[in-house]
Each structure stands twice: as C-alpha cells, then as structure tokens.
Copies of this chain bind each other. A is one copy, B any other.
Amino acid sequence: MSSKGCITLLVEQGMDDLLKEIADKWGADAVRNSDGTELPDCVGDLGMEVYSTLSLTRADQDWAREHEDELTQKFLMSSPVTAFGDTVTVNIMQGWSDQQFRPDARETSRKWYEVWDRTAGKRVPEEKWNYDAENTTVTITGAEKYHVYTVSFLAYQIWDTTSMYNYVTNNWTGEHVRPMDPNQPATREHLKEFLNEWLDKNPQTDVVRFTSLAYHFTNNFDQIDGKLVNRYRDWIGYHDCTSALALEQFEKEYGYALVPEDIVRAGTMSDVNSVPTKKYRDWMDFIQRTVADIAREWVDIVHAKGRKTMMFYCDHHIGSEPYGRYFPSIGLDAIVNPCMSGVELRRIADIPVDIVKEVRLYPYFFPVNLEGKPNFPDGDPVGDCQKYWKGIRRAMVQNPADRIGFGGYLSLAVTRQDFMDYVAVLAEEFRTIKDTAKQYKKYMAPFKVGILNAWGKIRSWIDDDINDWTKPYRGGVQECLSGMNVELAFLSFDEVLEDGIPSDIDVIINMGDAYTSWSGGEYWKDEKLVGMIREFVHNGGGLIGIGDPTAYQYEGHFFQLFDVLGVDREMGPSKSTARWPFEPVKEHFLLEDGAVKEEMTHKKDGVFINTMGTDVILADEFNVLMAANTYGKGRGLYMTDLKYSDENVRLLLRALYWAAGKENELKKWYSENLNVECTAFPEAGRFIVLNNSRTEQDTVIWNAEGKTVELTLRPFESRWVDIGLFE
C-alpha cells in the first residue's frame, strides 16, 4: 500500500552523479534550493519537480539601497530613563542596535513619536519635549524628578532579520541585506515586475517557494561591545508591518487612528502572550488583509506563467497565518514549514485550505545539530531524526502532511550511510501512514475538545511555550493532543462571547500562565463568560484547567471558576485563610494506568481545594497538583502542568474521557501499554500501532467491541495490523 514520491530534496551543486541515486532511494520527486544556494544545472534532467526559493522583499538589494524610505518599519520603545532633574534627555536608540534600526526622522513621522512618564502612567504632551534627529535624542523639559520616561518611535529596519540571524549564528559576512516593505506603492509595483522577470529567468522552476511573504516575525537586537544581543523576539509578533503608511491606511479604513502606545503597551509590544486589545485585533485583521492583497498579486503572476506557488511558513509569515480569514484568498498551491514536533505537524496539516502541505524534517544536514552537538559525519543523525519523528509520526497518523523534506547539505548527509538508509525507511513509513490516513476516516474519541484562549483559530497549534524566555521549552498539552484520536477546535473568548460555546464541544481546555492571552487575564472578570462556562459544565460539559486556568484576582478568588474546577490558588494576600485539609485519593479513573507520576515541571504554588468535595489526585505537602471535581452534570479537572511524555499523553487521554463523562468508552482502540498508541481506520480494515519508545514493548490492544489482541513491537516500530486479527 505504499507509494513513491512526496519527498523534496534540498540539492546542491557538485554532486550530480549522486542525486538520481538518492532520489530513487528515498523516493524523492522534487528538488529545491535554499536561500543562498543555487540549483545544479542537472535539475532539468532528473525528471522531478523543481522548487526555487524566492524572498521577494529582500531579492532586489539595488532597489532597496535606492529606496531607503521604503524599508520595513516598526515601533520601538527606548530604554527607560530616570529624570534626576527637571530636564531629562533620552537617547531613543539606547537599547537598540544602529546596525538594525534607524529612527524615521521624517517631519511627517513625528506624530509616531510618543513620550511617556511611566512612573505616573501618563503621556507627556508634545510641547514638553523636543526631538533632535541628528543625535537621536528627545529632551523633556519640566520633567518630574525621579520619574521614569520612555520614548516610543517609528524606526526603519535597515538590516533584514534573517540576514542578521545568519551573521550572528552562521558567521555570514557581506553587505547587510535590507528588507523592503511590499506595501509601499513603488516597491509593490517594482516587486511585481521583478517577479515577472525572475520567472522568465528561471524557466526550470516549477514551484516558487516564497520564503516567505511580506513581513518577518519580530526579532529586535541591541548591540553591546559591538556584539548583537537579542532584546525582543516574538515568532508571531505584528511589528515589522508597522509603517507610517500602514498606520494611515488603517486610520482611513477603521475610522480611528492608532497611537504608538496601542502597539508599544509600555514596552511589552503587544506580546502574543499578553491579552490582546480590541485595537490590536483590528490591527492584526488589517495587516492580514494587506498581506493577502499583496501576496495574491504575486501568486497571480506566478500562475499566469504556468507555475505554482508555495509559502515557507516561517520567517516572513506575519499577516499570512494559514488559519487567518484571508489566507485562502491568496491562492497559494502549497505550504511548507520546519517541523520538529507533533504540534508543528498539525499546525501545517490542519490548515483548513486544500493546498499541498509539506514539512521539513530534522536534522538539518549540518555539521552540528540543533543542540549544538556533532551531527554529520560524527554524531547520531538517526537518533536525532527519530527524536523529532516520534512526535511527528503520532501527529501524522491523526492528520498527515502531503509531503516531507529535508534541508542542509546533501553532501554531508551522504557521509552517513546509516542515515541515508534510515530516511528511506522513514519515507516509506510516512507514505504508508499518509496513504491510509488521508483516505479513510479513523476511529475517534466520542467527544470534541475546544481549546479556549484569547486567540482561537488564528493561533491554532500555538501555545505559550512558543516565545517563552523564562522557562525550558518542554512541549506541553498540545503536543500530547497532536497524536491523540481526539477531535479538536480552537476557540477564542470573543467568539464564545459572541456566538456561544459551539454546540458540538464536549470538553473545554483553558491553560497557561495567569494574565496571559492563553489563560485569558481580564476576560475572566467578564460575568458573561464565566456564566457561560458554568452553564456549559453544569449541563454536562467538562472543563480542564491547566496552570492558571480562568485566573484573575477578583472578588476573593484567583481562579474565577474555582467552583467548577474545585480548586483555587492563593497568591499571597489571603495566606491566613486556612485551606481545606486534603489527602490524595487512593483510587480514581485518572490513576488507573499509573500514569500520574510525571514530575510537574512548571508547578504552581498555593493551589488548594475549594470544597471538601474535590478529589485530590496528586499533591505535594502544601499544594494540590491535580484535582477532579463534579459540578452539576459536568466535571472540572485541574492540573498544575503537563509536559509531553508518554505517561502524560495517557494521563491527558484519561482526563479527557473523565471530563467528558465517557470513562466507559476509553478502552476502544486502546493500548494497555502506555508507550504504545493505536489508531484504527475501520473502513480501511486496518489499524496502526506505534511504539513510541526506544525499547521493545508488549501490549494488549482493545478494539471498539472490547476484543483484545496481544502484540509485541520492536523498538520505535510502527505497524499496520489487519482488523481481521480480532475475529
């Protein structure tokens, strides 16, 4: 049932002889170059599709050099400066690299400068400050002594972020690449012409692989002793799109003007982790439309020349989120992303648009791997590959991508025959999964789960791990979910407030740190929202809260749905309240697999049970770590944290069945051994069993009718089994 194909090879010059052999071995049916590498001349002879990388916004550096006023822009906030007298001078570029930024000194852009007294929380009137463009300083007169001042201003980004990254990380040299803003009318026209010409110059190209579209994610640097130091990085931040032009276009369309503080928000820069304001959500919507309009022109041009388009979902993807409202209108033919986890696989595979979806697997064919350890030729590239593939494979079973690929120097990969052999196996494994999982419906848990946060669909398969500089990245709940036979939806508070909880949702998950966009912050002060969720659970729904669910200190409670969850959290001010004594229960559905044993990595202190009716599942001496509560006909369940592990996948699965009140249905297409997962495709007459561990595993598989079979799986094996085995 396997097939060849569906693999893209990043090729390089100078190994023409080997290309055909490798393509045959792996079943590759397309080749591509990367930014900075050229396709070999032989590509036309290989009989494969040719993908060519193109980053339009930095493609024509001659144009960029001549149109410095059309580089991308963004708001920056100066480092805070304390007034020690009644006059204070702020060097607005203090804290920012002048290699990366240049203040927009145009007289007409002065309105995009704002001075704030952060101690008083007040905007300083224009008449009290003066900008000296030559020295990039703002001088404030009549300052309040010992108050802290900041200046927000519009800057040009004069060095492209990816180019900077390559300088900093890969020691690239040469002229700094300048990033063009394709929203500027002259540049916009020019890029279209450029694209037309480029297509003519590259006749071998079948697919234009845009890396990516209009605006890079945010990555702002300072420099210290000449060394670039990262100051702000938001993989999904809407900053590089913030030109004076866009701000004016926005005002015209929306009937109100944004001010710098709407984006800057006291230096937090409307972080994706902060609860978005209505204005910021308007701004996002505006940018998405703007980007879609620009990108559609490019796609049309490519199509007019009989070629196809692909978007690299990274780097310049801001405004082109595939879950956004306007993405379908762009008309792309394919999308590709770098992928090291089940979450990243689903982020591509679940895109609700019928385009080709490709993922770029790891390791990169580089001398060192992502952890900086030896890779090719002296490392363990097979082990490295499997480490990522473990999560991706689980997710592929749920929803496969259409294609896979690898990146880096093929000449390095060939130094390791074991790796070359393994990729052939992996490719075959991928194709067999894809063939069945694309074509047939699978057995799914008898409930649907909604993940509720401030973002909803637009941030599908994204969580608060994405940009966290304060903790180790660990993969969490979404990674567990990515490979489970569970139907998911991503819900936003606004959507729920407006349209109600979708009627097909059985269990809601709210998770994240307090006061973030993920947990929800001030949304939980909304009596309508808490009322809706109380009603939902009271009528039989389930609420799973992880971390600081429904958290907002208000009216004596931190978890606003303390009554539903059965727990609340003490943040300090009422530490005198004696908390109900608790004793973890000895028996509970959640405990039955022995899966509740994983260390809780990001434990929340001070969680206590709200009533004696709450069952404590896990606790340390002072804190409840997991608890289960009944609320009307429904259930509430709290967990302090959940990182991705085989044990926690099982624990979460049990938690979902319990929250949905469907405990009795757990053992359908179920593996007794939690290192093994299985998914059935009844119409195809087969099921797949995944050994997620690196050791041999025995397990018992239950089918939907309660029959069992025993299986033994080789380390890391995936096996397709005929459903007839149960007869």
Bound form: Cα–Cα A667–B472 in Å: 42
Max count, chain B CB within 10 A of own CB: residue among A268, A553, A612: A268
A278 within 8 A of B: no
A80-B563, A468-B575, A554-B121 known; A146 vs B266 contact (CB < 8 Å)? no
Q: By the criterion CB–CB under 8 Å, are A527 and B119 in contact?
A: yes
Closest chain-B Cβ to A93's Cβ sits at a distance in Å of 15
A272-B576, A513-B571, A563-B82 known; A265 vs B556 contact (CB < 8 Å)? yes
A-B contact pairs, 17 of them (CB 8 A): A118-B556, A119-B530, A147-B531, A229-B581, A232-B576, A232-B577, A232-B578, A237-B576, A464-B572, A467-B575, A470-B570, A471-B605, A471-B622, A514-B571, A514-B572, A515-B553, A521-B573
Interface string of A74-87 (1 = CB under 8 A from B): 00000110101000
**B-side contacts of A231, CB under 8 Å:** 577-578
Closest chain-B Cβ to A496's Cβ sits at a distance in Å of 14
Q: By the criterion CB–CB under 8 Å, are B576 and A271 in contact?
A: yes
Interface string of A463-478 (1 = CB under 8 A from B): 0100111111000000
A145-B531, A530-B146 known; A606 vs B470 contact (CB < 8 Å)? yes
A274 within 8 A of B: yes
Q: By the criterion CB–CB under 8 Å, are A146 and B578 in contact?
A: no
Q: By the criterion CB–CB under 8 Å, are B575 and A472 in contact?
A: no
Q: By the criterion CB–CB under 8 Å, are B535 and A576 in contact?
A: no
Q: By the criterion CB–CB under 8 Å, are B576 and A469 in contact?
A: yes
Q: By the criterion CB–CB under 8 Å, are A224 and B464 in contact?
A: no
Closest chain-B Cβ to A83's Cβ sits at a distance in Å of 10
Q: By the criterion CB–CB under 8 Å, are B575 and A273 in contact?
A: yes
Q: By the criterion CB–CB under 8 Å, are A576 and B269 in contact?
A: yes
Q: How many copies does the complex hold?
A: 2
A146-B531, A571-B513, A622-B471 known; A229 vs B580 contact (CB < 8 Å)? yes
Q: By the criterion CB–CB under 8 Å, are A576 and B516 in contact?
A: no
Interface string of A566-600 (1 = CB under 8 A from B): 00001111111111110000000000000000000
A460-499 residues with Cβ-Cβ distance < 8 A to B are: 464, 467-472
A121-B554, A521-B573 known; A578 vs B230 contact (CB < 8 Å)? yes
A34 within 8 A of B: no
Cβ contact of A266, chosen from B271, B555, B575, cutoff 8 A: B555
**B-side contacts of A230, CB under 8 Å:** 578
**B-side contacts of A232, CB under 8 Å:** 576-578
**B-side contacts of A612, CB under 8 Å:** 224
Cβ contact of A578, chosen from B84, B272, B469, cutoff 8 A: B469
A129-181 residues with Cβ-Cβ distance < 8 A to B are: 144-148, 150
Closest chain-B Cβ to A187's Cβ sits at a distance in Å of 28
A32 within 8 A of B: no
Closest chain-B Cβ to A541's Cβ sits at a distance in Å of 13
A328 within 8 A of B: no
A555-B118, A555-B121, A556-B268 known; A531 vs B144 contact (CB < 8 Å)? yes
Q: By the criterion CB–CB under 8 Å, are B80 and A572 in contact?
A: no
Q: Is the interface of A mostly helix, strand, loop or mixed?
A: loop
Closest chain-B Cβ to A403's Cβ sits at a distance in Å of 31
A651 within 8 A of B: no
Bound form: Cα–Cα A572–B551 in Å: 12
A307 within 8 A of B: no
A267 within 8 A of B: yes
A120-B527, A557-B118 known; A146 vs B576 contact (CB < 8 Å)? no
A621 within 8 A of B: yes
Number of interface residues of A (CB under 8 A): 85
Bound form: Cα–Cα A587–B589 in Å: 54
Chain B, residue nearest A235 (CB): B576
Chain B, residue nearest A572 (CB): B513
Q: By the criterion CB–CB under 8 Å, are B563 and A148 in contact?
A: yes
Q: List 17 extra interface pairs beyond A148-B563, A514-B571, CB under 8 A.
A: A119-B530, A144-B527, A146-B531, A147-B527, A150-B556, A232-B576, A272-B576, A274-B573, A274-B574, A467-B576, A468-B575, A469-B575, A470-B575, A471-B622, A513-B572, A515-B553, A517-B573
Bound form: Cα–Cα A228–B121 in Å: 49
Chain B, residue nearest A225 (CB): B612
A632 within 8 A of B: yes
Chain B, residue nearest A219 (CB): B578
A275 within 8 A of B: yes
Closest chain-B Cβ to A200's Cβ sits at a distance in Å of 41
**B-side contacts of A570, CB under 8 Å:** 469-470
A623 within 8 A of B: yes
**B-side contacts of A580, CB under 8 Å:** 229
A384 within 8 A of B: no
Chain B, residue nearest A266 (CB): B556
Chain B, residue nearest A573 (CB): B274
Chain B, residue nearest A81 (CB): B563
Cβ contact of A574, chosen from B148, B268, B514, cutoff 8 A: B268
Q: Which 3 A-B pairs have the closest CB atoms?
A: A266-B556, A513-B572, A146-B531
Closest chain-B Cβ to A89's Cβ sits at a distance in Å of 16
**B-side contacts of A527, CB under 8 Å:** 119-120, 144, 147
Closest chain-B Cβ to A401's Cβ sits at a distance in Å of 28
A428 within 8 A of B: no
**B-side contacts of A233, CB under 8 Å:** 576, 578
Closest chain-B Cβ to A228's Cβ sits at a distance in Å of 11
Bound form: Cα–Cα A76–B570 in Å: 19
Interface string of A218-251 (1 = CB under 8 A from B): 1000001000011111100100000000000000
A534 within 8 A of B: yes
Closest chain-B Cβ to A435's Cβ sits at a distance in Å of 40
A303 within 8 A of B: no
**B-side contacts of A121, CB under 8 Å:** 525, 554-555
A102 within 8 A of B: no
A538 within 8 A of B: yes
A512-534 residues with Cβ-Cβ distance < 8 A to B are: 512-517, 519, 521, 525, 527, 530-532, 534
Closest chain-B Cβ to A516's Cβ sits at a distance in Å of 4
Bound form: Cα–Cα A271–B557 in Å: 14
Interface string of A267-298 (1 = CB under 8 A from B): 11101111100000000000000000000000
A252-269 residues with Cβ-Cβ distance < 8 A to B are: 265-269
Chain B, residue nearest A607 (CB): B470
